[in-house]
Amino acid sequence: MTWWTGKRVLVTGGTGFLGSVVVGKLRRRGAAEVFAPRSREFDLTRREDVERCLDASRPDVVIHAAAKVGGIGANRLHPGSFFRDNALMGIHLIEACRLRARRHRLSRFVCLGTICAYPKFTPVPFREEDLWNGYPEETNAPYGIAKKALLVMLQGYREEYGFSGTYLLPVNLYGPGDNFDPESSHVIPAMIRKFVEAREAGRDEVTLWGDGSPTREFLYVDDAAEGILAAAERYDGADPVNLGSGEEISIHDLAETVRKAAGFGGRLAWDVSKPNGQPRRRLDVSRGRELFGWSASTPMAEGLRETVAWFEAHRPEKAAPAANVHGG
């Protein structure tokens, strides 16, 4: 028996990268039914589709992992739709769940935010108290602000209606099953694809965006899923909680690490005319450890080996060339 035994769980984004890992873990832990709607069946930016989704799933627990996401390039091309779609999905879903919480048995709502919500020049390590101390990095501010608005909504709904909503801030994720699409992938899958394709084509150089100086923190997808489930089981509070590894690496050092994992022996070239993104990212991860006993456990070298192996085993035979890689 686990806390999940017999529960009905709705995981929005449950067929995606992170959501599919969460869904698998829920099924193994004895959830009575796990509902992972597809966007072609339920457009969560539409209130009527959200209602249909909840009618079909009748959840005890909702994990809102759906999001419209991408790296710097995608955010620069689609700032309006990134804001609109992420805000609408969360607003419609939270409101509909709030109305059902008393009539039905919905007892917990877990919302995934984004590290992009933090101010551009947040002191390192990022503490949850710093969320409102400045404007996000400009290239992904619309996305970050849309997701951060959902934290305000959940806190307001908890105060006014007693709605049990929890807000988590995952750092950049990576792992098997990641998005390797050249137009929308984040930095690790984009690098993996570029290095593998360069190795196979016999090229001696790969060009990356920026100057390599920004730092980032990454979390293996399996660890992130464990953190989400731990929070759902053991944390019911208004304060947001970071989910991360607590380890910082420069984009330059990351590129060298990924290059080796992908078996590419050529040079790295940096296109300094392209944006770096936020200068530094590393989270204070103490709150999650203290409030619900979770911490990351997968070493990066191991996680990268698994991710490269997955990409080489599952990619299409005729893939489009990888896009320029940036800090994300």
Averaged over 99-123, what is the pLDDT? 90
* 154 close to 162: Cβ distance less than 8 angstroms: no
Residue 311 pLDDT grade (very low, low, confident, very high; cuts 50, 70, 90): very high
Beta strands in the chain (DSSP E): 8-12, 33-35, 61-64, 108-112, 165-170, 172-174, 205-209, 215-216, 218-220, 241-243, 249-250, 267-271
DSSP E strands in 204-250: the ranges are 205-209, 215-216, 218-220, 241-243, 249-250
For residue 219, give the DSSP letter: E
pTM over 0.85: yes
Q: Which residues are catalytic?
A: 143
Domain ranges of the chain: 8-174+217-243
Residue 316: the pLDDT is: 66
Summarised one tens digit per residue, pLDDT across range 275-309 is 887 788 899 999 999 999 999 999 998 999 999 99
User: Please, which pLDDT band fits residue 70 given cuts at 50, 70 and 90?
Assistant: confident
pLDDT digits (tens, 9 = 90+) for 207-217: 998 999 999 99
Average pLDDT for residues 90-119, to the nearest whole number?
93
Residue 318 confidence (pLDDT) above 60? no
Count Cβ atoms below 10 Å from residue 179 Cβ, excluding itself.
Answer: 15
The span from the CA of 307 to the CA of 304, in Å, is 5
Mean pLDDT of the chain: 92
Dig out the tokens for 149 from the structure.
């608005």
Q: What topology does CATH give the domain 8-174+217-243?
A: Rossmann fold (3.40.50)
The neighbouring-strand residues paired with 297 are none
